Amino acid sequence: MSDLAVSPPALTPVPGQPWWQRYRVQISTVTMLVLLYIVFVVFAPDVYLRFDIYRSFMISIPFFGIMAIAMTYIVTLGQIDLSFPSICGIAGWAFSQLYISTHVFILALAVALLVGAAAGLINGLLVARVRIPSIVATIGTMFLWRGLVNVLTEGKGLPMAEITGDPLNKVFVGQLFGLIPAQFLWFLGFSVVLGLVYKRHRFGSHVLFVGDNREAARMMGINVERVTILCYIQIGVVAALSVVLLLNQMMYFWSSTGDGYLLTTLAAVFIGGTSVFGGKGTMIGTFVGVLIIASLEPGIIALGLTGFWTQFIYGLLITLSVTIYALMQRRRE
């Protein structure tokens, strides 16, 4: 490996940062979740001390949770993707249309994933090659794909109730032991795999390095363009998979399918403590962020507030957490 003269190092344990400082972001998010649940359990015990609400969480969380996990990579790069709800739309349309006309689940799934990958590739090329700021590029493709769905469907929906009879339907939205929804297992699986890749794989390491210091990454021989494009392809594919899960559950494709997930997905990532400046984030943070966001709406209702509060409280939490994390980062500099 190295031909340097290595004198044996003193490998005595060295005092570094205390653990609570190293994991301050994870601790903040978990604390936020625990505080929320104390409020919920104290003020709405009949809702929050029963299993039903947790099963309904497990059904609904994965649709945007998986995308939040993938979005963590994009935000870590110092980029953003606003077009993924529209990728859900176009990939979902492809899935529904093909399933309705052929009833070949695998074919519809494969084409949907390919559509997601292609849409991601286009975003990646616009950002990495053409060098359009990602917020602008993905606003463009957001309207492009949603517009295309509207043209193709003329605003009409596609009913696909027959999908519940497909054996593969169980793989995506069945229930394990009649208790655990399959989509929740998909969400857990994705969180674990993408979480490991994020901090413990060469690819994740490159994403962190590019997001932290693009020029340094280039000097060290990391292919910045390739890393960026791959991250956009990844979220495109994940958006397509999410919408397939969703359609298996809902059995109906609307021309607006996917639209509602923009706010919740981004909120989960930012509440999870991924740095808005890039280069730093945690998958545990995003995972907990997903749980917080998902718990809010039913919590707000259970506390007796109207649903009109939901968006306001999402907005409040995003603004507060982004501010707190930014200040935490600044104070250390």
Partner 1 sequence: MVEPVPLLSLRGISKSFGRIEAVKDIDLDVFSGEIVALVGDNGAGKSTLIKIVTGVYQPSAGQIFFKGKPVKLKDVQASRRLGIEAVYQERALADQQEMWRNIFAGRERTTHLGFLDIVREKLEAEQLLRGIMGFTSRAITMDSEVGSLSGGEKQGVAIGRALYFHADLIILDEPTMGLSVMETEKALRFVRGIRDQGKSAIFIEHNIFHVYDVADRFVILDRGRIVGRFRHEELSRDQLVERMVALHEAGQVR
**Which residues contact partner 1 (rule: CB under 8 A)?**
1-11, 14-17, 22, 196, 200-203, 205-206, 208-209, 212-213, 215-217, 219-222, 275, 279-280, 332-333
Beta bridge partner(s), residue 181: 175
Q: Which is nearer to partner 1, 109 or 233 (CB)?
A: 233
Q: Minimum distance between the CB of residue 28 and partner 1, rounded to whole angstroms?
A: 17
Q: Which is nearer to partner 1, 82 or 207 (CB)?
A: 207
Q: Which is nearer to partner 1, 212 or 259 (CB)?
A: 212
Upper half-sphere CA count for residue 114 (Cβ side, 13 Å):
8
Q: Minimum distance between the CB of residue 187 and partner 1, rounded to whole angstroms?
A: 22
Q: Minimum distance between the CB of residue 203 and partner 1, rounded to whole angstroms?
A: 7
Q: Which is nearer to partner 1, 28 or 255 (CB)?
A: 28
Structure tokens at 256: 């607006």
Q: Which is nearer to partner 1, 38 or 220 (CB)?
A: 220
Q: Minimum distance between the CB of residue 1 and partner 1, rounded to whole angstroms?
A: 8
In order, the DSSP letters of 20-64 are: HHHTHHHHHHHHHHHHHHHHHHHH-HHHHTSHHHHHHHHHHHHHH
Q: Which is nearer to partner 1, 196 or 320 (CB)?
A: 196
Q: Minimum distance between the CB of residue 218 and partner 1, rounded to whole angstroms?
A: 9
Q: Minimum distance between the CB of residue 290 and partner 1, rounded to whole angstroms?
A: 23
Distances from the Cα of 43 to the Cα of 40, 305, 308, 314, 317, angstroms = 5, 12, 19, 20, 20
Number of residues that this document lists for the chain: 333
**252 by DSSP, 3-state: which?**
strand
Q: Minimum distance between the CB of residue 208 and partner 1, rounded to whole angstroms?
A: 6
For residue 24, give the amino acid letter: R
**176 by DSSP, 3-state: which?**
strand
CA distance 244 to 170: 12
Q: Which is nearer to partner 1, 5 or 161 (CB)?
A: 5
Handedness of CA 266, 271, 275, 281 (dihedral sign): negative
**Which residues in 176-192 are b (16+ Cβ under 10 Å) and which e?**
eeeeebbbbbbbbebbe
